[in-house]
Chains A and B, each alone.
Chain A
Amino acid sequence: MEAIAAFAKNLYSTTGLNFSFIYDPFDRARWIVGIKTTILLSIASIFFSMIIGLIGTLLDRSRFRVVRTAIRGYVHVFRNTPPLAQLYFFYFALAPLMPYYVTAQGARQPYFDGFLWAVIALSLLQGAYTLEIFRSGLDAVPKDFVEASNALALGRVTRFCRIEFPLAVRICLPAMESNLVNSVKNTSMAYAIAVPEILYQATQIWGDRVNVPEVMCALLASYMVLVGAVSLFMRFLARRLAMPGYGT
């Protein structure tokens, strides 16, 4: 670690390439906070979007027309309006209506901070896409499987949990990979509401040090590593879940 820091410092003095987030403890701390926040934001929004997608898919198969229409409405609104406008809508328009507490100094302090709003907005956005992916996966389950499980007198719940869902997950995997990659990429929008994720920290660092090209390259490299990790994980999952004799 020391050797790398010394190398980065030497690089600055000899070539003028200022990778300040490697040798400077303050910038390094900011960079690490940024990476951590981005990862946390990605994981949280992926987790909640999966839950929204799953519940939404179940509700979309509801017997009641009102429920189905509401789910369709949610999907259409979130897929056809700009994600950044959604984020602003939540953070600037809805946040002031949320409960807050007053600090000892008399300042209004909301219970929901920027990070939480980013998680909410990104989960709802990505949830709409996840829902559509799950739905098309379930639609793609061959009818023979459903008929076979009916012939075995399986109940609705058993049929869904043991037959339809496991098959749908496998059908969904390729579409899900790009969906998860998008979840990671979309976290960069949280910059707009000052969540200290990697893009925000990068702008802070180059604002202080005026080393835009160096930080910019490191920023892109960081995203490539994160996106690559997601892709590798999904490939691993696809291999683990592969069923012999059942095409991908």
Chain B
Amino acid sequence: MRTHRPMAARVVIFAAILLALGPAEAADGSPERASAFATVLKWIPLLLSGFWLNILMSVLAMAIGTVIGVILGVSQLSKNRMLAGFAVLYTHFFRNAPWLVVLFFVMFLLPFNMRLGGFAVGIPDWVKATFGLSLPVAANISEITRGAILSIPSGQWDAGRSLGLSRGMIFYLVIIPQCVRRMLPPWMNWYAILLMATVLSSIVGVTEILTLTERVTASESRPDILLPIYGFVMALFFVFCYPIARATYYLERRFGVTHREAIG
């Protein structure tokens, strides 16, 4: 980077620019009405409670996606043809299917409740959405895992064998520890992408931050709060995702280079 301002300062500057879009627009307004900025301020606790759900969904989906993804990634390189074939197929399919369509698929085709010992237990829609989001994440983690394992020089396998380690032991003691380092930057990157993708669940009816934003704008029904309130939502995500992007960039430069992809 050419500038040498500390990262925190840059985050604040960008967030402030996003926020400043609001008050700049809110100059008009009769005296008895609260200013647009004050109106948005009033709703911020509600929006933050929605954002909490976004964070929760992203953390859970990342956990599920990582577990499934690592298993699939290892399976892709398995000697068992069936297992490898399934893992490759899953990975390609969910990497190429739009997230929103996968989300629709899961929301519509998963049951809305399940029987647990005679009781019907409802499955909240955000749980289903979390599961839906974890599927494409798993596919991408699977590809990262596969790439990381393949990037380990084959000499490492030979060295392990010469020490008398079994295939499984080489894998857990030699290969995996080296993979973790290489997987960390893209893994963090996918977490940021996932966090930004959680707002897609507003389309399928989860009450997260974007849904709440729409409700607030509908209840206030004043056009002058639209810019500041959407600006606030974007700034909020920015404050979370930009540091992750910077850290990813830093780690990538230390470990090697990969490219950031857009949500799809």
Residues on A close to B: CB < 8 A? 65, 68-69, 73, 76-77, 79-86, 88-89, 92-94, 96-97, 125-126, 129, 132-133, 136, 175, 178-179, 181-189, 191-192, 199, 203, 212-213, 216, 219-220, 223-224, 227-228
Q: Which residue from B100, B109, B234, B262 sits with its C-beta under 8 Å from A199?
A: B100
Q: Which residue from B2, B101, B109, B203 sits with its C-beta under 8 Å from A84?
A: B203
Task: Tell me which of B76-84, B111-119, B144-152, B236-244 binds A.
Answer: B236-244
- Please, how many angstroms separate the alpha-carbon atoms of A133 and B261 in the complex? 10
Q: Is the CB of B199 within 8 A of A185?
A: no
**Could you count the A-B residue pairs with CB atoms below 8 Å apart for me: how many are there?**
141
Is B233 on the interface with A (CB-CB < 8 A)? yes
Known A79-B245, A220-B105, A224-B96; judge A179-B262 contact (CB<8 A). Answer: yes
Which residue on A lies nearest to B1, using beta carbons? A72
Q: Is the CB of A212 within 8 A of B14?
A: no
Total chain B interface residues with beta-carbon distance under 8 A: 49
Is B161 on the interface with A (CB-CB < 8 A)? no
Which residue on B lies nearest to A133, using beta carbons? B259
Q: Is the CB of B97 within 8 A of A93?
A: no
- Please, how many angstroms separate the alpha-carbon atoms of A93 and B3 in the complex? 32
The residues in B between 95 and 150 inclusive whose CB is less than 8 angstroms from any CB of A are 96-101, 104-105, 108-109
Chain B 244-260, CB within 8 Å of chain A: the 1/0 string?
A: 01000000000001011
Q: Is the CB of A185 within 8 A of B108?
A: no
Closest 6 CB pairs of A and B: A185-B264, A93-B226, A80-B241, A188-B98, A182-B264, A82-B196
- Please, how many angstroms separate the alpha-carbon atoms of A226 and B165 in the complex? 47
Residues on B close to A: CB < 8 A? 2-3, 14, 17-18, 25, 93, 96-101, 104-105, 108-109, 192, 196-200, 202-203, 210, 213-214, 217, 223, 226-227, 229-231, 233-234, 237-238, 241-242, 245, 257, 259-264
Within 8 Å CB of A185, what residues of B? Answer: 96-99, 264
Q: Pick 5 A–B contacts, CB within 8 A, sort by A.
A: A73-B14, A85-B237, A92-B217, A185-B96, A224-B96
Q: With contacts A182-B262, A185-B264 known, what are 20 further pairs, Cβ within 8 A?
A: A81-B196, A81-B238, A82-B197, A83-B262, A84-B199, A84-B203, A89-B230, A92-B226, A93-B229, A96-B226, A97-B25, A132-B259, A136-B259, A178-B261, A185-B96, A188-B99, A199-B104, A203-B104, A216-B105, A228-B96
Within 8 Å CB of A79, what residues of B? Answer: 245, 260, 262
Most buried by A among B25, B97, B101, B229: B101
Within 8 Å CB of B210, what residues of A? Answer: 82, 84-85, 88
- Please, how many angstroms separate the alpha-carbon atoms of A88 and B261 in the complex? 21
- Please, how many angstroms separate the alpha-carbon atoms of A184 and B261 in the complex? 13
Q: Which residue from B97, B101, B242, B264 sits with its C-beta under 8 Å from A80?
A: B242
- Please, how many angstroms separate the alpha-carbon atoms of A133 and B258 in the complex? 11
